[in-house]
Protein backbone atom coordinates (compact mmCIF):
# COMPACT_ATOMS: atom_id res chain seq x y z
CA UNK A 1 0.00 0.00 0.00
CA UNK A 2 1.38 3.38 -0.95
CA UNK A 3 1.56 6.13 1.62
CA UNK A 4 0.23 9.63 1.06
CA UNK A 5 3.73 10.93 0.24
CA UNK A 6 4.27 8.26 -2.39
CA UNK A 7 0.91 8.91 -4.02
CA UNK A 8 1.62 12.64 -4.16
CA UNK A 9 4.75 11.91 -6.17
CA UNK A 10 2.62 10.01 -8.68
CA UNK A 11 0.13 12.85 -9.18
CA UNK A 12 1.99 14.42 -12.18
CA UNK A 13 1.71 11.10 -14.01
CA UNK A 14 -2.06 11.00 -13.53
CA UNK A 15 -3.16 14.35 -14.93
CA UNK A 16 -6.46 13.11 -16.34
CA UNK A 17 -8.85 11.96 -13.64
CA UNK A 18 -11.84 9.78 -14.32
CA UNK A 19 -14.23 10.13 -12.53
CA UNK A 20 -13.35 13.68 -11.48
CA UNK A 21 -13.86 13.10 -7.74
CA UNK A 22 -11.39 10.20 -7.65
CA UNK A 23 -8.13 10.61 -5.79
CA UNK A 24 -4.91 8.71 -6.39
CA UNK A 25 -5.22 6.83 -3.11
CA UNK A 26 -8.62 5.55 -4.25
CA UNK A 27 -7.05 4.15 -7.41
CA UNK A 28 -4.47 2.16 -5.45
CA UNK A 29 -7.00 1.12 -2.81
CA UNK A 30 -9.08 -0.81 -5.37
CA UNK A 31 -12.00 -2.75 -3.97
CA UNK A 32 -10.35 -3.71 -0.70
CA UNK A 33 -11.79 -1.52 1.99
CA UNK A 34 -13.48 -1.76 5.35
CA UNK A 35 -16.87 -2.51 3.79
CA UNK A 36 -15.68 -5.15 1.30
CA UNK A 37 -15.95 -8.26 3.54
CA UNK A 38 -18.94 -9.52 1.57
CA UNK A 39 -16.91 -9.36 -1.66
CA UNK A 40 -14.02 -11.45 -0.30
CA UNK A 41 -15.44 -14.94 -0.91
CA UNK A 42 -16.46 -14.39 -4.57
CA UNK A 43 -13.06 -12.84 -5.28
CA UNK A 44 -11.25 -15.85 -3.81
CA UNK A 45 -13.42 -18.28 -5.78
CA UNK A 46 -12.92 -16.24 -8.94
CA UNK A 47 -9.14 -16.15 -8.47
CA UNK A 48 -9.01 -19.90 -7.74
CA UNK A 49 -10.99 -20.74 -10.90
CA UNK A 50 -8.88 -18.26 -12.85
CA UNK A 51 -5.62 -19.94 -11.80
CA UNK A 52 -6.99 -23.44 -12.46
CA UNK A 53 -8.19 -22.46 -15.94
CA UNK A 54 -4.86 -20.78 -16.70
CA UNK A 55 -2.93 -23.92 -15.74
CA UNK A 56 -5.40 -26.03 -17.73
CA UNK A 57 -4.92 -23.95 -20.88
CA UNK A 58 -1.16 -23.60 -20.45
CA UNK A 59 -0.75 -27.38 -20.23
CA UNK A 60 -3.27 -27.96 -23.01
CA UNK A 61 -1.43 -25.56 -25.29
CA UNK A 62 1.97 -26.98 -24.40
CA UNK A 63 0.87 -30.53 -25.05
CA UNK A 64 -0.20 -29.53 -28.59
CA UNK A 65 3.16 -27.96 -29.38
CA UNK A 66 5.59 -30.64 -28.16
CA UNK A 67 6.37 -34.01 -29.76
CA UNK A 68 3.99 -36.84 -28.74
CA UNK A 69 6.51 -38.62 -26.49
CA UNK A 70 7.56 -35.56 -24.47
CA UNK A 71 4.66 -35.09 -22.03
CA UNK A 72 2.07 -37.39 -20.43
CA UNK A 73 -1.06 -37.45 -22.53
CA UNK A 74 0.56 -35.97 -25.63
CA UNK A 75 0.36 -39.22 -27.60
CA UNK A 76 -3.39 -39.57 -26.92
CA UNK A 77 -3.98 -35.94 -27.87
CA UNK A 78 -1.96 -36.34 -31.08
CA UNK A 79 -4.15 -39.29 -31.99
CA UNK A 80 -7.36 -37.40 -31.16
CA UNK A 81 -6.31 -34.36 -33.18
CA UNK A 82 -5.08 -36.38 -36.18
CA UNK A 83 -8.07 -35.38 -38.43
CA UNK A 84 -7.06 -31.71 -38.12
CA UNK A 85 -4.30 -30.03 -40.11
CA UNK A 86 -1.05 -29.54 -38.19
CA UNK A 87 -1.17 -25.77 -38.68
CA UNK A 88 -4.58 -25.60 -36.98
CA UNK A 89 -3.32 -27.71 -34.06
CA UNK A 90 -0.27 -25.45 -33.66
CA UNK A 91 -2.43 -22.33 -33.88
CA UNK A 92 -4.77 -23.78 -31.26
CA UNK A 93 -1.85 -24.62 -28.98
CA UNK A 94 -0.31 -21.17 -29.28
CA UNK A 95 -3.65 -19.43 -28.71
CA UNK A 96 -4.36 -21.61 -25.66
CA UNK A 97 -0.96 -20.81 -24.16
CA UNK A 98 -1.37 -17.09 -24.80
CA UNK A 99 -4.90 -17.21 -23.41
CA UNK A 100 -3.67 -19.03 -20.29
CA UNK A 101 -1.02 -16.37 -19.77
CA UNK A 102 -3.63 -13.70 -20.45
CA UNK A 103 -5.85 -15.08 -17.71
CA UNK A 104 -3.15 -14.67 -15.07
CA UNK A 105 -0.50 -12.09 -15.94
CA UNK A 106 -2.50 -8.87 -16.47
CA UNK A 107 -4.32 -9.03 -13.14
CA UNK A 108 -1.30 -10.36 -11.25
CA UNK A 109 1.07 -7.71 -12.54
CA UNK A 110 -1.63 -5.02 -12.62
CA UNK A 111 -0.57 -4.05 -16.13
CA UNK A 112 -3.58 -3.58 -18.42
CA UNK A 113 -5.96 -5.79 -16.41
CA UNK A 114 -8.62 -5.34 -19.10
CA UNK A 115 -6.71 -8.01 -21.05
CA UNK A 116 -7.91 -10.74 -18.66
CA UNK A 117 -11.59 -10.56 -19.74
CA UNK A 118 -10.43 -10.28 -23.35
CA UNK A 119 -8.32 -13.43 -22.94
CA UNK A 120 -11.35 -15.17 -21.45
CA UNK A 121 -13.45 -14.10 -24.46
CA UNK A 122 -10.81 -15.43 -26.84
CA UNK A 123 -10.73 -18.76 -25.03
CA UNK A 124 -14.55 -18.89 -25.05
CA UNK A 125 -14.41 -18.52 -28.83
CA UNK A 126 -11.96 -21.41 -28.96
CA UNK A 127 -14.27 -23.50 -26.76
CA UNK A 128 -17.15 -22.75 -29.14
CA UNK A 129 -14.96 -24.09 -31.94
CA UNK A 130 -14.20 -27.19 -29.88
CA UNK A 131 -17.91 -27.70 -29.17
CA UNK A 132 -18.55 -27.59 -32.92
CA UNK A 133 -15.62 -29.85 -33.77
CA UNK A 134 -16.25 -32.61 -31.21
CA UNK A 135 -19.69 -33.86 -32.39
CA UNK A 136 -18.52 -33.89 -36.01
CA UNK A 137 -15.54 -36.19 -35.44
CA UNK A 138 -16.43 -37.91 -32.16
CA UNK A 139 -19.50 -38.39 -29.99
CA UNK A 140 -21.84 -35.55 -28.91
CA UNK A 141 -21.41 -36.79 -25.34
CA UNK A 142 -17.95 -35.18 -25.17
CA UNK A 143 -19.32 -31.68 -25.85
CA UNK A 144 -19.89 -31.22 -22.10
CA UNK A 145 -16.19 -30.54 -21.47
CA UNK A 146 -15.82 -27.42 -23.66
CA UNK A 147 -19.26 -26.18 -22.62
CA UNK A 148 -18.38 -26.35 -18.90
CA UNK A 149 -14.97 -24.83 -19.58
CA UNK A 150 -16.62 -22.02 -21.56
CA UNK A 151 -19.06 -21.34 -18.72
CA UNK A 152 -16.18 -21.16 -16.24
CA UNK A 153 -14.34 -18.81 -18.57
CA UNK A 154 -17.44 -16.63 -18.81
CA UNK A 155 -17.62 -16.56 -15.00
CA UNK A 156 -13.96 -15.53 -14.71
CA UNK A 157 -14.20 -12.96 -17.50
CA UNK A 158 -17.30 -11.35 -16.06
CA UNK A 159 -15.82 -11.38 -12.55
CA UNK A 160 -12.64 -9.65 -13.71
CA UNK A 161 -14.59 -7.13 -15.74
CA UNK A 162 -16.93 -6.42 -12.82
CA UNK A 163 -14.01 -5.94 -10.41
CA UNK A 164 -12.38 -3.48 -12.79
CA UNK A 165 -15.60 -1.62 -13.46
CA UNK A 166 -16.57 -1.24 -9.81
CA UNK A 167 -13.11 -0.70 -8.31
CA UNK A 168 -13.56 3.07 -8.71
CA UNK A 169 -16.82 3.05 -6.79
CA UNK A 170 -15.52 1.59 -3.53
Mean pLDDT confidence for 24-46:
55
| pLDDT at res. 41 | 59
Over the stretch 47-83, which tens digit does the pLDDT of each residue have?
A: 899 999 999 999 999 988 888 787 777 787 778 787 8
Confidence grade of residue 42 (pLDDT, cut at 50, 70, 90): low
CB neighbour list of residue 114: distance below 8 Å, 6 or more residues apart: 106, 161, 164
Cα radius of gyration rounded to whole Å, the chain: 20
Rounded CA gap, 131 and 68, in Å? 24
pTM (whole model) above 0.75: no
- pLDDT-derived band at 97 (thresholds 50, 70, 90) equals very high
Closest CA relative to residue 156, chosen from 130, 132, 124: 124
pLDDT tens across 151-161, in order? 999 999 998 88
pLDDT class of 121 with cuts at 50, 70, 90: very high
Distance CA 144, CA 67 (A): 27
| CA distances in angstroms from 127 to 138, 140, 146, 149, 168, listed in the order given | 16, 14, 5, 7, 32
**Domain spans in the chain, listed from the N-terminal domain onward:** 39-166
Residue 150 · residue 120 · CB < 8 Å = no
In 66-143, which residue ranges form alpha helices assigned H by DSSP? 74-80, 86-109, 115-137
Task: Please give the pLDDT value at position 40.
Answer: 57
Whether the per-residue pLDDT at 105 is higher than 80: the answer is yes
Amino acid sequence: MLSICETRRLVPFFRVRWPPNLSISDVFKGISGPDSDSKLAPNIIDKYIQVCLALFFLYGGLIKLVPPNALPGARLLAWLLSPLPKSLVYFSGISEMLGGLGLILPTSLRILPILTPLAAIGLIIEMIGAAIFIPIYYSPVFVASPVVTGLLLAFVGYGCWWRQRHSFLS
